[in-house]
Structure 1
C-alpha cells in the first residue's frame, strides 16, 4: 500500500494555563482501492483490537471489513440480509476484549457476536418475555466492558441497556425518567478506562456521562458539539467525532475542550461527516464517512 507519511503537521494552542500545546501529524489514508469490487459506502463505525487489526462497519454495503493497522485489506464478512453472517444497516462494532466482536445490526434489531476471526457465535435480541424497561430496538451503538458486560444504545426507547455476561438485560438508563441524564437521541456509547459510561447524544449536541450502574454523573459539550457520534479514549483524553462540525474534538479528563482539528472538505486533514474514531498506541484513526475513507494521524504533544 502506498503510504504518505509526514505530509503535514497541525498544532493547536490550548487556551488554558499550564497546559501543553497539542497537534496531530497526518500519516496516511485507506483503503486505496475497492474491497471485493466494492468501495466503502457510508461507513459508520471503526474499532481496533488488541493486535492492531482495524474493523470497519461498511454500512452501505452491509458488511464488516477487516484491515491491518497499516490499512491493508484482510477480510470481509456480510451482505444484506438477516442470516447470521448478514446485516441490515449495521451501525457499530466493538472489539475491546480481543476475543470477541460485537456488531449493532440496526434494522435487524439485534447484536451479533463473533470470535476474532469473525466466526459467528450468537445473537442477542429483545424478547417478548422482557419487561418494558429491559427490551431494546434498533441498536445504534454497542460497547463491552472489561467485565464482559454489554452496553447498547437503544434507539427505539432513547436509552442505554446493560446486558450481563450471559447476554441478559439487567438495567436500562437515560430515558425520560432520568432528569439531567435524559437522552434525546443516543448515537454511540464508550466505556472509559475508569468504567464510566459516555453516551453521545446527537440531538442534544452533548455527551452524557453515567457511572457503571447507570446513575447520572454529568454532561458536557453543549454549544461546542454538533451531532457528536463516535468516541475513543487515548492518552487520558476523549476524542469525539464532531460530525456536524466536520472536525475531531478532544476533551481532557475534566471534560474541557483542549483542542480540535479538521474542517469540511475532501483534502487531507479535512472531513465530511466524521462519524467515528479509534486509537492504537500513538495513532488516531478517523472514519470520514461521506469521503468513504479512514484518515490516520499521529498524536504530537509539545511542552
Structure 2
C-alpha cells in the first residue's frame, strides 16, 4: 500500500503492524546470544565482582617496599648537553636536593654546578653566585647538603679545598689547601657528614680526613696501599646508618668499611666482572633501608647490595615502558607502537660510564649520571604499582609482566599473586591462574585475598571438564621422564664396572635430554637376581 499521502496516524499504525514481530525476534536473538556469552565467559572471564582491589595494597605502594626491588626501568631521561651555552661537557658530580626537588650536577670544565628541576626535567639555572671576573670553583667533584637544606658543602678537586655555600648559592666559607700535612688536600673528591664530623676522601694522599662541623681538622685514617685498611685513589665516601664509614677504594677495585674512628671493619668485593666484583668503582650511596648502591664504572653497571652485604641486583640495560604519565619523554608519541600491547616497551641501550649515583628515598627513584652519554637516567622500581594499574585498566597482558616480577622479588605478596592469577585468567591461561589461587589458599591467610581466590578457583574449575587441571603438560611429562633416566643411569654407574669417559658422557647426555639408548646394558645383579635390565 502506498502511504506517501496517507495521514500520519496511518503510517504509525502500518509500521507497528509490520515491525513488531521483527523487533521481538531481534530482542529474543540478542537475549539468547547474551546468555550464551555469559555461559561461555562467565565462569572464567571478567565480572563486576572479580575486578577487586584490596585495602592493604598501601603496604606495597610505599618507597620502603620498593627499595627492596631488583628490577629497574628508565622512568625519564635528562639530557645535560643540550642547553646551549649552559650545557655540561664534563660532568663530575650529582646530588639530589630534596628541599627543592632538583638535581645538582657539577661540570669540571666550567667549574659550575647546574640545577635541573624534577618538576619539568629542564635546566633551571646555575647554583653558585659568582663575582664577575672571579672564579669560585675549579672542579666540583662532590656535593653534600645538610638535613635542613640550608648548607651546601662542595669538594673542589681542582683548587684542593672545601667550599661552603648557603641555600642561595653564596659562598660563606672555605677550608683546606694543597699539601700532605694535616688539614691539607691533594684533590679532595668526596665528602659526607655523620655524628658532627665531615669525612673527606683525599684522593692522591690516599686517606680520609675528618673535620668537625666548624671545619677544624681532627684526624685522618688509612694510607696508600692495597692491604686491608689501606686505600689507593679513593673516589667516594659515605657514612652508613650504623656508624660505619664506607669508602669507594677505586684504585683497588673494592669497598672498604671503617668505623667512625678509622678502624678497619671489612672489605667488600675485589677486581672482576661477576656480581659482587668491581672494576674502578666510582661512587656509592645508601637508601633509607640501608641498601648499598655502587657505581661500577668500567663494568658499565650499578650494583645493589642489602644491609648485610648480600647481592640484590645489577643495573646495566636500560629498558623502559614509560607507564607514568608524568614522566613520559618528549619523543614518546613518536615511538612505534607495540601492537600486541597497550604499553610501549623499548630499550634505551645500556649504561656506558655510570660515574655518579644518588637515591630519592621518597619515590625510590635511582639517579644515574652517565658521563659519556651526557645523560641522567631516572630509574624506578615500583613494579607492584605498575602491575596494579595495568590490572585495573584491563591491560592484563602487560600486568602479567610486572606482577610476575613482583612475585620474583617477594613471593609473599598475596595481593600481587591474586592480581597475577586473575590476569592469567583473562588471557585464558587457566592452569597458571589456578596455580596462583592454590598458592594463596595454601597460605591460609583467612582474609579477603583468600576469599576471592577461592571464589575464582571454584569458578574456573566449574568451567572446565573433569580432569582438565589434573592432566600433566607435555613439558611436565618430559621432565619426569628425564628424572627417571637420571636415576636409572645413576644406578647403572653404581652397579657396573669401569666404563670409559666416552661412555659416561654419552649416558649423561641421554639422561639429560630424556633419550633412551637403543642398546641394553648388562648390570651386575645382587644375590637372588637374574637376567638383564634394559636402559
Higher strand share: 1
State the number of aligned residues. Answer: 278
Tell me if the contact between 1:109 and 1:139 (Cα under 8 Å) persists in the aligned partners: yes
Partners of 2:183 and 2:85 lie apart in 1 by: 41
**Where does residue 64 of structure 2 map in the other structure?**
none
Q: In terms of mean alpha carbon deviation, does 175-184 or 248-257 score higher?
A: 175-184
Q: In terms of mean alpha carbon deviation, does 33-42 or 44-53 score higher?
A: 33-42
Partners of 2:175 and 2:371 lie apart in 1 by: 27
> Deviation of residue 73 (structure 1)?
2.2
Relative to the length of structure 2, the TM-score reads: 0.48
Partners of 1:167 and 1:114 lie apart in 2 by: 13
* Counterpart pick for 2:356 among 276, 279, 287: 276
Q: In the alignment, is residue 111 of structure 1 matched against residue 162 of structure 2?
A: yes
Tell me if the contact between 1:78 and 1:87 (Cα under 8 Å) persists in the aligned partners: no
* Counterpart pick for 1:191 among 224, 239, 244: 239
3-state DSSP of counterpart to 1:241: strand
3-state DSSP of counterpart to 2:298: helix
> Deviation of residue 269 (structure 1)?
5.4
Tell me if the contact between 2:155 and 2:188 (Cα under 8 Å) persists in the aligned partners: yes
Q: In terms of mean alpha carbon deviation, does 218-227 or 61-70 score higher?
A: 61-70
* Counterpart pick for 2:376 among 282, 291, 294: 294
1:129-173 deviations in Å (ceiling 9; x for gaps): xx934432211111122x442111112310000110110110101
Summarize the Cα distance change of 1:229–1:292 in structure 2 as closer, same or farther, 3 Å threshold: same
* Counterpart pick for 1:242 among 296, 299, 310: 296
**Where does residue 219 of structure 2 map in the other structure?**
171
**Where does residue 217 of structure 1 map in the other structure?**
265
> Deviation of residue 250 (structure 1)?
0.6
* Counterpart pick for 1:251 among 305, 314, 322: 305
1:246-273 deviations in Å (ceiling 9; x for gaps): 1111111122222101159xx6252121
Matches within 5 A, 1:7-18: none
**Where does residue 45 of structure 1 map in the other structure?**
93
Partners of 2:128 and 2:84 lie apart in 1 by: 12
Tell me if the contact between 1:26 and 1:269 (Cα under 8 Å) persists in the aligned partners: no
* Counterpart pick for 2:117 among 51, 68, 75: 68
Partners of 1:284 and 1:175 lie apart in 2 by: 32
* Counterpart pick for 2:139 among 73, 89, 99: 89
> Deviation of residue 179 (structure 1)?
5.2
Tell me if the contact between 2:225 and 2:231 (Cα under 8 Å) persists in the aligned partners: no
Relative to the length of structure 1, the TM-score reads: 0.83
3-state DSSP of counterpart to 1:22: coil
1:15-44 deviations in Å (ceiling 9; x for gaps): xxxxx7621121011136633523221212
Gaps of 5+ in 1: 1-19
Gaps of 5+ in 2: 1-67, 319-346, 383-405, 411-535
Partners of 1:216 and 1:55 lie apart in 2 by: 32
Q: In the alignment, is residue 200 of structure 1 matched against residue 248 of structure 2?
A: yes
Higher helix share: 2
Partners of 2:222 and 2:349 lie apart in 1 by: 35
* Counterpart pick for 1:162 among 188, 191, 210: 210
3-state DSSP of counterpart to 2:86: coil
Partners of 1:122 and 1:196 lie apart in 2 by: 28
Q: In the alignment, is residue 123 of structure 1 matched against residue 174 of structure 2?
A: yes
3-state DSSP of counterpart to 1:203: helix
1:60-107 deviations in Å (ceiling 9; x for gaps): 3221011222423222146999x8752222211121432211111112
1:108-136 deviations in Å (ceiling 9; x for gaps): 011111012211111111388xx934432
Tell me if the contact between 1:40 and 1:293 (Cα under 8 Å) persists in the aligned partners: no
Summarize the Cα distance change of 1:79–1:88 in structure 2 as closer, same or farther, 3 Å threshold: farther
Please tell me the root mean square deviation across aligned C-alpha atoms, in Å. 2.7
Q: In the alignment, is residue 99 of structure 1 matched against residue 99 of structure 2?
A: no
**Where does residue 14 of structure 1 map in the other structure?**
none
Summarize the Cα distance change of 1:79–1:113 in structure 2 as closer, same or farther, 3 Å threshold: closer
* Structure number with larger C-alpha Rg: 2
- Ranked by relative contact order (alpha carbons within 8 Å, sequence separation 6 or more), the top structure is 1
